[in-house]
Amino acid sequence: MTSGSGDEVKTNSLNNKEIARYSRQIIVPDIGVKGQTRLKTSSVLIIGAGGLGCPAALYLVGAGIGHIGLVDYDVVEENNLHRQLLHDEGSIGKPKVTSAAEALKRLNTDLKVSEFCCALESSNALGIIKRFDVVIDASDNVATRYLLNDACVLSGKPLVSGSALQMEGQLTVYNYKGGPCYRCLYPQPPPPETVNNCSDAGVLGVVPGVIGVLQALEAIKVLLGHNGTLGSRLLLFDGSDTQFRNVKLRSKNGDCVVCGTSPTITELIDYVEFCGSSPNDKDKGIKLLNDDERITAQELARKMKSDEKFVLLDVRSNGEFEICALPDSVNVPLSIAEKEIGLDMIKEQIVKIQHSSDHERISVYVLCRRGNDSQKAVRLLKSKLQDLSLNIKDVKGGLHSWTHTVDDTFPIY
Ligand SMILES: [Zn+2]
């Protein structure tokens, strides 16, 4: 016998369709009808519809969370598809929140999705966050982490924070049950040039997958008031040897400027200024050198066609050099160039050129992917090789600029 809506059991707030759909989960003692009902009436905000946000959203929606909010200003790119699995080839060029919302609604038509196709900023963060019960930080930059942290403290929301890079990931819950906030542990942002992101350092797609799914788990446990939540603990995942480790975090800092006993931050500040870096990793250019210490990709192209002899030093990693490289460039990764062995390799190249050139002053043009590491390398080499008569310059904008201004068939990654 089928039962219409009028015959549904009224003793709980799950309808028959929901009981059937979530039955395998409802019979878990930690969930039960009460827990499932709680999930249905709960809302989770996810900042970032990328490598962490996609799996987190997928599992939250699968679990029956009633309302998901997605914040992302970006559009889907081909290089996202190895890890951001709510998006597919047909979504390239679409806003990520639209693409993700469509995929999530295909999974669960009862879902309410709020799409915020914008950057999270000091002007909009509190207004968005207050509409949700739990916030998931699935962003990829320091400015957004501080902004989100402060906004969650000011709004009294738990913050499930995850990160992933290369083969490693991290996960914790801030501002939860008297535990620390992000600022308690990191009162000051790191220098912008020391921060790595997926775009520069890479990430194995599975790793944010693992962390994002665990973010969904923690968010669910927070909503259910479960005791085992990762508050005051940090989970470290090492994908290279498949190990999980838990470390106890320092407790809440009484002097914390946002969650301490006498906070000085009582409203959101300018986080780009505070961190010295922009949330948008695509324009994360640094400027360490003066203009007379740099040449453009077009100038390099002219020099390559001329008789001038010079060392073209590519300071990207070996793996990146393998992807693509300019002819006659020599690969000494920045991390090696900092060491004696790297400097010796570079000196060897300089000596080679000296033998074949009439010029007394040898030029070294330093190249990387986007023109950040090359500037660091120029600074380094100028100090380490100052006894040699050298003209060391970096190639502005690196290989990306080469593709854009010299040779559009040169691969971009
Ligand atoms: Zn704090």
Distance separating alpha carbons of residues 222 and 220, to the nearest angstrom: 5
Considering the candidates 181, 198, 259, 275, report the single residue annotated as catalytic.
198
Domain count, the chain: 2
Q: How many CA atoms lie within 13 A of 219 on its CB side?
A: 37
Residues 394 and 324 in one domain: yes
CA of 68 to the centre of ligand 1 (A): 26
Residues 65 and 180 in one domain: yes
Residues 191 and 269 in one domain: yes
CA of 188 to the centre of ligand 1 (A): 12
Residues 246 and 325 in one domain: no
Catalytic residue list contains 368 = yes
The last residue of one of the domains, among 254, 283, 312, is: 283
Residues 109 and 85 in one domain: yes
CA of 13 to the centre of ligand 1 (A): 38
Residue 321 lies in a domain: yes
CB contact at 8 A, 270 and 355: no
Position 279 scores a pLDDT of 75
Neighbour-count burial for 206-218, b at 16+ CB within 10 Å, e otherwise = bbbbbbbbbbbbb
- 331 bridge partner residues: 314
CA of 261 to the centre of ligand 1 (A): 10
Distance separating alpha carbons of residues 96 and 98, to the nearest angstrom: 5
CB contact at 8 A, 49 and 86: yes
Considering the candidates 181, 184, 259, 368, report the single residue annotated as catalytic.
368
Residues 66 and 106 in one domain: yes
Candidates 303, 297, 260; CA nearest to 412 is 297
CA of 184 to the centre of ligand 1 (A): 4
Q: What are phi and psi of 47, to 5 degrees?
A: -95, 105
Position 358 scores a pLDDT of 73
Catalytic residue list contains 198 = yes
Distance separating alpha carbons of residues 20 and 1, to the nearest angstrom: 15
CA of 149 to the centre of ligand 1 (A): 9
DSSP 194: G
What is the side-by-side strand order in the sheet with 310-314? 294-295, 390-395, 362-367, 310-314, 329-331
CA of 152 to the centre of ligand 1 (A): 11
Series of mean pLDDT values for 10-residue runs along the chain (413 residues): 43 85 96 96 97 98 98 96 96 97 96 96 96 97 95 98 96 96 94 78 95 98 96 96 96 96 96 84 73 95 93 94 95 94 93 81 94 94 90 96 95 90
Position 357 scores a pLDDT of 75
CA of 125 to the centre of ligand 1 (A): 18
Instruction: Tell which phi-psi region holds residue 397, choosing left (phi > 0), alpha (psi between -120 and 50) or beta.
Output: left
CB contact at 8 A, 281 and 141: yes
Residues 260 and 310 in one domain: no
CATH number at 101 reads 3.40.50.720
